[in-house]
Structure 1
Amino acid sequence: MPIRRPFVIVVSLIGLALLAGYAWHASRDAGGVPQPDSDVVAPVAVETHAVRALALADDVSAVGSLVSNESVVLRPEVAGRIAAIGFRDGRAVRRGEVLVELDAAVQRAELQQARADLTLAGSNFDRTRDLFARKFVSQSSLDSARAQLEVARAGVALAQARLARMQIRAPFDGVVGIRSVSPGDFVKDGDALVNVEDIATLKVDFRLPEQYLDRVRAGQTLSLVSDALPGERFAATVDAVDPLVDAQGRALRLRARLENPGMRLRPGGFVRVRLILAERGDVVMVPEAALVPAPGNVQFVYRVEEGKAQRVVVGTGVRREAMVEIVDGLQAGDQVVTAGQLKLRDGAPVQVIAGGSAAPAD
């Protein structure tokens, strides 16, 4: 028994060696080449976007209010009873058109009396001047007659002014509002009758932080949108910049002007304003989807070169409509990955596929 155990062990080892050699030769004969390495990585399917250089406007956004170009509330200067109303609510009126007329019977009588006094004073002056020419009256009599004539003329002018105050006219072309009085109402001086608005042109009042003080000026263009007319944009021009900065909010007040064809916009409305401060050309832009955040407030993209993904740290600028300005790291013409980034690593092979078919970024 002690003599045969080493023999069994030796025979077993020889058998294992022969079995291993047979397996190696069998694998070579079956494939002809060594089996592929399991560490080889298959290309990752991604979507890409070509980096473009675009013209970009530096701008700032704010909220504003629409204001009538001209606005007034008509009020009588004297008390009286309304005799007639010469307009319909919400209709356009012309400058000088009589809108409200007060009972002016007393004022017309005063004007008639003043004209009669003027006629009498004129006749008296002519007679006195004739007598003075023939040396029948003194110089003082002539001067007195001339003064009475001037007083009579002033009386006529005063009566005419009082009569004119009984008619309330439109101070400018515009649209009248909704009246709060009716014919026959007795109104006091200063009572509100109706508002008149010039809305063919509108003003836009808005505020910006004082940090933009040296970047805003009259003549700059802006666009605005209104919730009342979704999907539409309107162009306006900065008309004035208030020289006074609001001490409470440290804000600068600006006023712009825009045409209002069709009078579709109305004063008092809320608008969102985008003021263009400057125009820049050849700004490198990429889709927001291409950016990948990293720890330390760092952002990077994957740039595709020769079929491989290269990790590139980028500096970003302004964002506009799902596009981001790249201030450092890329140039126009580069191809950046916009979908499939989370399956990539630096240097990984990629396969660019048509948009909408790439593997999702998550």
Structure 2
Amino acid sequence: MKTISRLKPPTWHNTVLLLSSLLMLTLALLLLSLPLAAQERTAVIASRVTLEPWSDPLEALGTLRADESVTLSATVTEIVAELNFRDGDLVEAGQLLIRLEDGEQQAQLRAAQAQRDERRSAVNRLTQLQERNMAPRADVEDSQARLRQVEAEIQGLEARLTNYQLRAPFDGRVGFRNISVGSLVTPGTQLVTLDKTDVMKLDFNVPEVFLAILEPGLPLTAHSAAFPDDVFEGEVASVGSRVDPVSRSVSVRAELANPELRLRPGMLMEVVVQRRPRQAVVAPESVLVPSGDRQYVMVIDEADGNRLERRRVTVGERRTGQVEILEGLAEGELVVNHGLQRAREGDNVRLLGIADDDATIRKILERNRSEESS
């Protein structure tokens, strides 16, 4: 006779284990079904995409020249009688700077002026007599000719006297004074320099391959080691008419405004010509996520709870800390700048702040640390 085996009824211990397993499974399912907003979000710092003036930089080194520059020299041999300036003075056009001893020439001028007065009186007397038919007309004409002759002599003397008076031909700044009152000067002796520096000329050379894009009016910026924190703005004034056959470069002259007169002739300047000026969509270079030969960014969708979207972009030119975006982003969009390592597409992130010129990433992080500690 066969024995029929029966299933043993479940014990209390087995029932507890089964219920525990079911409870853990239910909790796991509940956690998975929780909305993402209830979970801990990744903290990031974003940057706003902007529309800014942009250009392709062309760099060169240039030398400054004064807008107008002259060295005043003596044209006669004479002694210095008067000096009306000091080193580095700002002078006005027409101001008397140096007067040479001109006593003899002044005496000749006074004599000629006296002779002119005498002959003018003679002309007047003869004219009155001729009107009464008491003097021949020929005498009147001879007297008038002698008057014109002495007037011409006076003009010649006055013109020669200008050689003894050196005046500023334009507004500017004089250089060092290397002569003194009583010094004997001869023709060609350099007496003083004068530079007009409210506008400066900047000469530099660029390769001939850029000749097609060079034209007057092209904006540029210049930097000097003497003023490392300052940027001087100007524009191309003219382009040379010849290309150097040795260096294969063309000369360019620009003009820089110098209202504070800080720039001086002869200074070396770093020039950046702004080629193809335009309005461009610009983002911080740190937002780019390279993948092979492609570039991506993490875009924050503010309307969808700060959800991340991985988006491919096409980049153009770059400059310090910034990149031009040709395709893929629009002005005003938010992109992840800090925290890219933990950011994943589809995540909803916690925005710590938006970095800009006033609020840097460091300031935003320090502010959040202080808030968390308080």
**Alignment TM-score, normalising by the size of structure 1:** 0.70
Distance 1:96 1:255 in 2: 28
Q: Does 1:49 align with 2:46?
A: yes
Alignment partner of 1:96 out of 94, 111, 114: 94
Q: Any conservation in 1 of the 2:66–2:199 contact (CA below 8 Å)?
A: yes
Please list, as runs of the form range in 1=range in 2, the aligned pairs for 1:1-362 lying within 5 A after superposition.
31-32=21-22, 33=24, 47=44, 49-58=46-55, 60-62=57-59, 63-126=61-124, 134=133, 137=136, 139=138, 141-206=139-204, 211=210, 213-214=212-213, 216-218=215-217, 222-236=220-234, 238=235, 240-242=237-239, 244=241, 246-247=243-244, 248-251=247-250, 253-261=252-260, 263-274=261-272, 280-281=278-279, 283-295=280-292, 297-303=293-299, 312-332=311-331, 336-339=335-338, 341=340, 354=352, 356=365
Q: Deviations over 1:236-276 (max 9, x none)?
A: 4x373236254454335242242514x33333334444555
Greater C-alpha radius of gyration: 1
Q: Any conservation in 2 of the 1:46–1:341 contact (CA below 8 Å)?
A: no
Distance 2:58 2:108 in 1: 61
Distance 2:324 2:20 in 1: 57
Distance 1:81 1:304 in 2: 82
Distance 1:43 1:65, change over 3 A: farther
Which sections of structure 1, spanning at least 5 residues, go unmatched? 1-23, 358-362
Q: Any conservation in 2 of the 1:301–1:311 contact (CA below 8 Å)?
A: yes
AA at the equivalent of 1:166 = Y
**Alignment TM-score, normalising by the size of structure 2:** 0.68
Distance 1:200 1:334 in 2: 44
Distance 1:304 1:173, change over 3 A: closer
Q: Any conservation in 1 of the 2:81–2:101 contact (CA below 8 Å)?
A: yes
Distance 1:70 1:352, change over 3 A: same
Q: Any conservation in 2 of the 1:204–1:256 contact (CA below 8 Å)?
A: yes
Kindly tell me the number of residue pairs found equivalent between the two proteins.
Answer: 326
AA at the equivalent of 2:147 = L
Distance 1:234 1:30, change over 3 A: same
AA at the equivalent of 1:118 = R
Q: Any conservation in 1 of the 2:66–2:200 contact (CA below 8 Å)?
A: yes
Cα RMSD (Å) of the superposition? Answer: 4.3
Q: Which moved more, 1:336-345 or 1:145-154?
A: 336-345
Distance 2:178 2:69 in 1: 17
Deviation at 1:178, TM superposition (A): 0.8
Which sections of structure 2, spanning at least 5 residues, go unmatched? 1-13, 33-38, 353-363, 367-374
Corresponding residue SS for 1:193: strand
Corresponding residue SS for 1:267: coil
